[in-house]
Amino acid sequence: MTDPHPCFFYGSLMSTRVLNSVTRPGPESNLHAVPATIQGYIRYPYHNEPYPGMIATKDDPTSIVEGLLVFGHSLMDRFRLDQFEGSEYTREILPVKVLAPVPGEYNVMDGKKSLAAGDVVQSYVYVFTGPHVHLDQSRPWDYEAFRRDHLDLWMNTSSDFV
């Protein structure tokens, strides 16, 4: 069974290698991903880890986090994602803006109506709810640096993937 809400990923799960390792989609999976943004949040690196945490901004409600919105996950995928995210992240339903069109067959929440770039859809988002001292708030998290400097090593050594 497919979960009706898409999921917005803003960190390591933006990598299809990481996402597929966590959810282990089968041949029957029918996923669709588009670039997207969420407003009023900022992501910071987790201290001594390659992944970020995203928290609401107090000083700048116009702050934007870029990420990937994925449609079509199953309920088992959601369970695996919840386990992967752990206790310091809470899955919330928040408004996310799509930056590319989404075919109607993926929009199971809204009568299979196609989405256009700029449309906003209620989505699952894993918000960091652990102690903020665990985040390095001196600099924003950088996805390209994660891909370049950490992805291969993390995939090969993390207990989440081996």
pLDDT tens by residue, 57-94: 977 878 999 999 999 888 889 999 999 999 999 999 99
Percent of the chain with pLDDT over 70: 90
Which residue from 43, 23, 5 is spatially nearest to 141, judged by alpha carbons? 43
CA gyration radius, the chain:
15
Please say if the pLDDT value at position 97 is more than 70. yes
CATH class, range 7-152: alpha beta
Encode pLDDT of 126-135 as tens digits.
999 999 999 9
Give the helix/strand (H/E) hosting 123.
Answer: strand 120-128
Provide the residue type at 37 as one letter. Answer: T
Query: What are the boundaries of each domain within the chain?
Result: 7-152
- What the block records as the tokens of 35 is 């670039």
Q: Distance between CA atoms of 5 and 133, rounded to whole angstroms? A: 31
Determine the average pLDDT of the residues in 52-61: 89
The neighbouring-strand residues paired with 33 are: 70
In the chain, % of residues over pLDDT 90: 64
Is residue 31 pLDDT above 90, yes or no?
no
Task: Give the mean model confidence (pLDDT) for residues 146-162.
Answer: 79
Distance between CA 73 and CA 62 in Å, rounded? 29
Tell me which residue of 88, 36, 42 sits closest to 66, measured CA to CA: 36
Q: What is the pLDDT at residue 24?
A: 85
Complete DSSP assignment for 34-88: EEEEEESEEEEEBTTSSSEEEEE-SS-TT-EEEEEEEE--BHHHHHHHHHHH-TT
What is the Cα–Cα distance from 67 to 138, expressed in whole angstroms?
21
